[in-house]
Structure 1
Amino acid sequence: MPDLARCLAEAYDIALPHRGKGKVADYIPALARVDPMRFGMALALPDGTLHVAGDADMPFSIQSVSKVFTLALALRRVGTGLWDSVGREPSGSAFNSIVQLESEAGIPRNPLINAGAIATTDRLIDGRDADVVTQEILDFVRARAGDDGVGIDLDVALSESQTGARNRSLAHFMDAFGTLRHPVETALGVYFRQCAIAMSCRQLARAGLFLAMAGRDPLTGEQLVEAHRARRINAIMMLCGHYDNSGEFAFRVGLPGKSGVGGGILCIAPGQGSIAVWSPGLDDAGTSLVGAIALEHFAYAAGWSVFD
């Protein structure tokens, strides 16, 4: 058995010199102010063990990493009917692209691009009040993290709403095709707030454990989603979790992962554990540059890959 604490420390040390590289997501003003030199890692294991490095306890905006939790909740609420509104194929396009929506009758390619995540959130709402659904997402994430201190950064949520013209365009386009079941601003009101959830690497790694353990939270014993749905969420993360960079991430890391433009990445090693990294500088596809380097080296050192 590899010494996982040592593997994490080595991965952190290898990636550390690359801090400051990449570009912070400056199109969202609240994210543009984040220090690009921040870098944290956390590894959560099914027995409750946590190994951390660097800025692992500093909260950051999880952004699109939230899509994984909303997808799990939507599948739990509406089941396979979700796939009437969103596909399961890689997009090969940027996270906020509108091109495929026109040629594919307003059905987004997958739940992890922005259009697909908006459609997924729309289905999770299921006729309910937007504030109630937002609280449901937050409560779910808090329970998975084992920390009621997890919250929504309202400054980030407001900043996203004020600069959300592209996301509004995606939502209105889907609405024109009849994909959305609720008013555009209702769906976006939940979506902007879920993306503005702030978590630390320690909290995020713990929150992802249920996906590493066939949908069961190993620390509470709760079966949160059926095992087959957990497998499918992991498959979608592997194929679509980094947009047009998903193939490169699978090639280099070999594990399901989901990135966010806040600089976070949640990575799942089925049967083993979950890893969260955070460093705000992004590559051209919107994935943390330093985080991807760290995950590549950790996965290699630990011998963790779904392709073994």
Structure 2
Amino acid sequence: MSELQELVEGVYRDLKSHIGEGKIADYIPELAKVDPKQFGIAVATLDGGFHVVGDAETSFSIQSISKVFTLTLALGKAGDTLWTRVGREPSGSAFNSIVQLEYEKGKPRNPFINAGAIAVADLILAGHQPREAIGEIVHFARFLAGDDSIAIDHEVAKSEAETGYRNIALANFMRSFGRLDHPVEHVLGVYVHHCALAMSCRQLARAGLYLAAGGNDPLLGNRVVSRERARRINSLMLMCGHYDGSGDFAFRVGLPGKSGVGGGILAVAPGKASIAVWSPGLNEYGNSQVGAAALELLAHRTGWSIFGS
């Protein structure tokens, strides 16, 4: 057994008694059905190694982690003109807050809060029907993970669409300021479907490798994005990837990361590895409670924090 595999298994062992802690995102009815007593870790290294433990092969709803992939796609389409639509600052507010959006005249603070991701979905829709835009996002996730089995959980998408009143309000508010180019129902259709992507920790860690390798897929040798763009995406993940808990995550873990209310977190150790953790119970910020604790231990024991060991 490799030293890294032993380390990953040690983190799992040390947190095993905490599995099930936190509160499931029961405001999305389909997510409320998920067994909270699950916990997986996957670490994908640049040399092609995979180090997994627990429920790392179980698919779950990645929710807002998908915003990393849609941001990458949108930057590929629009380049830096994207930043005329959405900001690059931490929000300091809840992920679905409407107060800040009103104060800032419909321009979202960053692409990872709900309003920002809705603006990104609007940009991806340009020249496409919603079904085509959704297909492009799924295809991109499959390409990054090297796995054509990745798909949308349509029950989760339906559940989110039927109960997402706050997102409907955010999108209509943005449209009232002229911030959306397409019909609200089309934009939200793209948004809820990409949030309903289902992936395992192993697939997610593989998909994030391009951000750990300066924009390259280190296993296939393909360039996904430029080195500068990968750096910028990582910086946004560090500042904004955990909503109003982003500062605390940076303080404790010290890695760029993006969480989702399905209980997953994708974290990047630049030049070293891509890490995915999953445990459905959330803390007060809407981030996986056990997953964040696992990343804190992992960053400490590997010395991978970008701020030094």
State the TM-score, normalized to the length of structure 2.
0.98
Q: Distance in 2 between matches of 1:105 and 1:225?
A: 31
SS at structure 2 position matched to 1:191:
helix
Amino acid at match of 2:64: S
Alignment of 1:38-57 (within 5 A): 38-57=38-57
CA offsets, 1:60-94, max 9 Å, x none?
A: 00000000000000001110110111000000011
- 2:280 is aligned to 280
Structure 2 gaps of 5+ residues are none
**Percent of aligned positions that are identical:** 61
User: Shift in Å at residue 9 of structure 1?
Assistant: 1.0
Equivalent in the alignment of 1:74: 74
5 Å-filtered alignment, 1:119-158, equals 119-158=119-158
Aligned to 1:258: 258
Give the aligned partner of residue 23 of structure 1.
Answer: 23
Instruction: Give the match's secondary structure for 2:30.
Output: helix
Counterpart residue number, 1:187: 187
Mapped partners of 2:152, 2:134: distance in 1: 10
**Counterpart residue number, 1:198:** 198
Shift of 1:265: 0.2
Letter in 2 for 1:147: D
The secondary structure found in structure 2 opposite 1:276 is strand
Cα distance in structure 1, aligned partners of 2:6 and 2:238: 26
- 1:283-302 map, 5 Å: 283-302=283-302
For residues 136 and 83 of structure 1, the distance between their equivalents in structure 2, rounded to whole angstroms, comes to 22
**Secondary structure of the equivalent of 1:65?**
helix
**Which runs of no fewer than 5 residues in structure 1 stay unpaired?**
none
Runs of 4 or more above 6 Å deviation: none
CA offsets 1:237-288 (integer angstroms, 9 cap, x no match): 0000000100110011000000000000000000001000000000011000
Report the equivalent of 1:95.
95
Residue in structure 1 matched with residue 8 of structure 2 by the alignment: 8
* Structure 1 residue 127: Cα displacement: 2.5
Q: Are 1:233 and 2:236 an aligned pair? A: no
How far apart are the structure 1 equivalents of 2:117 and 2:56?
A: 27
3-state SS in 2 of match to 1:277: strand
Write the deviation string for residues 1-40 of structure 1: whole angstroms up to 9, x where unpaired: x922122111111222111111000000000000000100
Q: What residue number does 1:211 align with?
A: 211
RMSD across aligned C-alpha pairs, in angstroms? 0.9
Aligned mates of 1:14, 1:97 — CA distance in 2? 35
Provide the C-alpha distance between the structure 1 equivalents of 2:222 and 2:187, rounded to a whole number of angstroms: 29
Contact residue 39 and residue 55 of structure 1 kept, 8 A: yes
- Partner in structure 2 of residue 173 of structure 1: 173
Deviation (angstroms), 1:124: 1.4
AA aligned opposite 1:17 = S
CA–CA distance in 2 between the matches of 1:292 and 1:10? 15
Q: How many residues align?
A: 307
| CA deviation map 1:39-59 (0-9, x unaligned) | 001000112110000000000
